[in-house]
Amino acid sequence: MNATITTQASESQTNNLRATLLYPPTNGDMRPMDMIKVSATSRSTSVAGAIAGVIRDQGHAEVQAIGASAVNQAVKAIAIAHGYLVLDNIDIICVPSFTEVLIDGQERTAVRISVEKR
């Protein structure tokens, strides 16, 4: 489902934070969307900046994390991004779900968190 085009979100300067253009798998809206992949070593403030940037640009961001530490960083980043965006009068909410991803030929369960304007 992931598109082959890869882009960097404006604030994602850390090497462990990647944003990939993809098409949302859950609804019929085929507008390209930024996927923010969070790892255990991602800095939550950097991820927060990336989320805030994508929300300002597109109004909707997708965050993906595999493993407890990465999920924790993702959730903290969303809490921080909430604080950033309140300053722009944007109130964000999120919806977590599970998704299967293929990593090095192995299927892993990732947590996908959809971040949206309320």
Residues that bind its own copies (CB under 8 A): 67-69, 71-72, 75-76, 78-79, 82, 92-98, 111, 113, 116, 118
Question: What's the angle, vertex CA 20, arms to CA 94 and CA 16, rounded to 5?
Answer: 85
Q: Nearest distance from residue 118's CB to its own copies, in Å?
A: 8
- CB closer to its own copies out of 35 and 48: 48
> Euclidean distance between the first and final Cα of the chain, in Å?
26
- CB closer to its own copies out of 32 and 117: 117
| Cα distances (angstroms) measured from residue 105 to each of 48, 71, 83, 108, 109 | 30, 22, 38, 9, 13
- CB closer to its own copies out of 3 and 95: 95
